[in-house]
Structure formats: C-alpha cells, structure tokens
C-alpha cells in the first residue's frame, strides 16, 4: 500500500464545506454574522472553524471582544480557497461546453462607461460568429474587476490597472485623457480665460480610485496641482454618477475627454484648466491564465486580443 504524504492526506481528507464556510467567515464581521449569511447556527459555524484549524494545525482567525481578523495563515488560506471556489463554480459551465456549436457564457467585468470602438467591434464579431453564446457585462470599480478575474468569477476584465498582480495577464486596450469639468450652475461655468489658479479652494467630486495609491494617480495629481478643496464632497465607482454630480453642481470633477465630448458640445459640461498636457490613463484587458475557459470565453478573448495586436497604438489613443 502506497504511503500518502502529509499533503496528499490533507487533499484526501479535507472537507470542502469547511473551506466554503471559511470563505464566508473571511468576509464577515464575526462568527454570528457569518452564521446569518450561511443560514446556520453560531455554534455550528464555530465548530466548523475549529475543525478546519485543527486539521491544518494553524489558527486562521483571531477572534474575541477586541476584533475579528484573519491571521497570516488565514490570509494565505483565503487566497487559495478563493481560487478553488472559482474552479468549482465553473465546472457546470465546462461540462456543458461539449457541443459542436459554441454555446458558453462570457462574463466581463468592466470599468464603468468604457468607450472604445475596437472593443465594440470585437463584440460584434463574436456575436456574429457565435450567436448561441451568451454574454454579460457587469460595471464595477476597477479593483473589484481585478478581484473578479483573480477569483475566476469573471471571464476577463476591461479596467484601469494600478500595478500588475502576479498570476494575471495584461494587454493595453486604449489610452484616454482626463480633464476637469464643471456643470451649468457652477460659478466657473462659461468663463473663458481661466487659469489653473482660479480653481483653488473649489469643492470637488471624483472616482473612488482617485487616490495617490490607486489607478487614477495621475488624475489625483492634476486635482492636487489645481489646489481644489481637499474634501471631496461626492465619490462613485461609476462614471455616469460622477458626471451626474458634476452636472448637478456639487463640484469640479475629472472625466475622460473623449467620453464627454458630446456633453461639452451640448452645454451640459464646461471644460476647465489645465488645458495642456492632460493626464493619460491606460485601460487594459486583464485575464487569468489559470481559468479553465469555455469555448465562448476563448473565442471572444482571442478575437479581442487579435484586434488589439492588429491595431497600432496610435489608433487606440483617444483624445
């Protein structure tokens, strides 16, 4: 009889339901909170956590009156369990993908209001070639889109990237430029000859990723150089909602120049300085090479990447 290694014995004996319970615990504020999410009693969840800790020989969560947080071992297990969970939930899709006709589903995690003719053309080509396949696009903050790809909940993402995470693949889709804008009720609206100094002290609105350590760092620097009020009165992960707050007069805010060109032409927005050298932001296609992709996912991603490779970067810069 072959003697199992400790790792092989763990793989044989470990109960997946314990890992599933742990994933919910890792996203909860307490054992009681996790029990409510799982529809179980609190002692049942506590017992499951203890069994998992005993099986692994590691304390996974520091819990008590002073707090409830993952230990170093818990954080490592959370990353691995998230990956395992993503693989399991995709089994149904993979098993259904056995017909000659491509019928799979594609789930795209998308930063809000991406305007890119090349991407739209790739979707048109995909649907024309594979009309039986289905597709969903979920708009979310870029960091959430990257998490969805990492955990294999999304086929791929189209989003902003602050830094390249190990294990993911990246391809630049296009570059856009940001400017500062105000709405019709703002005191600076319609004024010509403004200088950046005229914006000092004005209230502002922006994106949740508009921070020095996030994907819109260049936009953060532009706002800082304009010396806008440090207090941001409104934020959103959705471009349409940031635009709404600017038009409503809550404050000055950043928006991609090519996306709001029609709003400027129609008088809904007014461009403010700085006018020269606006900050450039790159939008990427991001995918997880460890994902067991179905045929539809492979088809749409391959088609998109081929279009990117065939289109010079100069044609993918939107000003």
Could you write out the DSSP letters of every residue in the chain? Answer: -PPPPHHHHHHHH--HHHHHHHHHHHTSSSHHHHHHHHT--HHHHHHHHHHHHHHHTS--EEEETTEEEE-HHHHHHHHHHHHHHHHHHTHHHHHHTTSSS---EEEEEE-TT---HHHHHHHHHHHHH-TT-EEEEEE--HHHHHHHHHTTSSSEEEEE-SSPPTT-EEEEEEEEEEEEEE-TTSTTTT--S--GGGGTT--EEEETT-STTSTTHHHHHHHHHTT--SSEEEEESSHHHHHHHHHTTS-BEEEETTTSHHHHHTTS-EEES--SSPPEEEEEEEE-TTS---HHHHHHHHHHHHHHHHS-GGGGEE-
Please, are residues 114 and 239 in contact by the beta-carbon 8 Å criterion? no
CA distances from 304 to 104, 236, 300 (A): 17, 28, 6
Buried b or exposed e, range 235-267, using 16+ CB within 10 angstroms: bbbbbebbbebbbeebbbbbbbbebbeebeeee
Rounded-to-integer distance, Cα 123 and Cα 145, Å: 19
Buried b (16+ CB within 10 A) or exposed e, 191-202: eeeeebeebeeb
Q: Are strands 270-272 and 156-160 parallel, antiparallel or unpaired?
A: unpaired
Q: Distance between CA atoms of 198 and 148, rounded to whole angstroms?
A: 41
Pairing relationship of beta strands 317-318 and 169-182 according to DSSP bridges: parallel
CA gap 258, 242 in Å, rounded = 16
Distance CA 64, CA 7 (A): 31
DSSP bridge pairs for 286? 157, 170
Nearest to 164 by CA among 39, 264, 285: 285
- Per-residue model confidence (pLDDT) at position 213: 63
Mean pLDDT by groups of 10 residues along the chain of 319 residues: 66 75 84 85 86 84 77 85 73 56 86 92 96 94 91 94 91 96 97 95 88 78 90 90 96 95 96 94 96 92 97 93
pLDDT score recorded for residue 150 = 93
User: What local confidence, expressed as pLDDT, does residue 243 receive?
Assistant: 96
pLDDT number for residue 32: 84
Cα–Cα–Cα angle for 315, 318, 319, rounded to 5 degrees: 125
In 3D, which of 70, 67, 132 has the Cα closest to residue 104? Answer: 132
Return the pLDDT at 208: 82
Residue 210, pLDDT score: 66
pLDDT at 186: 97
Q: Please tell me the distance from the alpha carbon of residue 225 to that of residue 283, in angstroms, as a whole number.
A: 24
Distance CA 16, CA 84 (A): 9
């Amino acid at each position: 009889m072959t003697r199992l290694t400790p790792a092989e014995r763990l793989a044989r004996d470990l109960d997946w339901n314990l890992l599933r319970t742990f994933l919910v615990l890792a996203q909860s504020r307490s054992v009681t909170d996790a029990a409510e999410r799982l529809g179980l009693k609190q002692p049942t969840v506590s017992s499951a956590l203890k069994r998992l800790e005993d099986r692994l020989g590691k304390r996974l969560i520091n819990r008590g009156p002073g707090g409830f947080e993952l230990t170093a071992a818990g954080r490592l297990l959370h990353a691995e369990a998230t990956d395992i969970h993503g693989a399991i939930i995709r089994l149904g899709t993979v098993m259904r993908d056995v017909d000659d006709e491509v019928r799979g589903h594609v789930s795209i995690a998308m930063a809000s209001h991406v305007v890119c003719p090349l991407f739209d053309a790739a979707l048109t080509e995909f649907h024309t070639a594979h009309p039986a396949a289905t597709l969903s696009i979920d708009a979310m903050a870029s960091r959430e889109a990257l998490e969805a790809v990492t955990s294999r909940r999304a086929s791929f993402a189209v989003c902003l990237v602050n830094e390249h995470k190990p294990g993911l693949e990246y391809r630049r889709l296009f570059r856009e430029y940001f400017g500062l804008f105000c709405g019709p009720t703002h005191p600076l609206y319609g004024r010509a000859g403004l200088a950046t100094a005229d914006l000092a002290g004005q209230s502002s609105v922006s994106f949740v990723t508009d921070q020095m350590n996030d994907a819109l760092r260049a936009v953060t620097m532009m706002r800082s150089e304009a010396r806008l009020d440090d207090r941001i009165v409104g934020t959103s992960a959705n471009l349409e909602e940031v635009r709404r707050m600017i038009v409503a007069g809550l404050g000055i805010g950043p928006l991609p120049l090519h996306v709001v060109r029609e709003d400027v032409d129609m008088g809904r927005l007014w461009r403010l300085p700085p006018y020269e050298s606006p900050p450039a932001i790159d939008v990427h296609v991001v995918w997880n090479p460890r994902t067991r992709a179905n045929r539809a996912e492979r088809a749409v991603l391959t088609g998109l990447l081929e279009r990117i490779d065939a289109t010079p970067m100069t044609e993918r810069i939107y000003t």
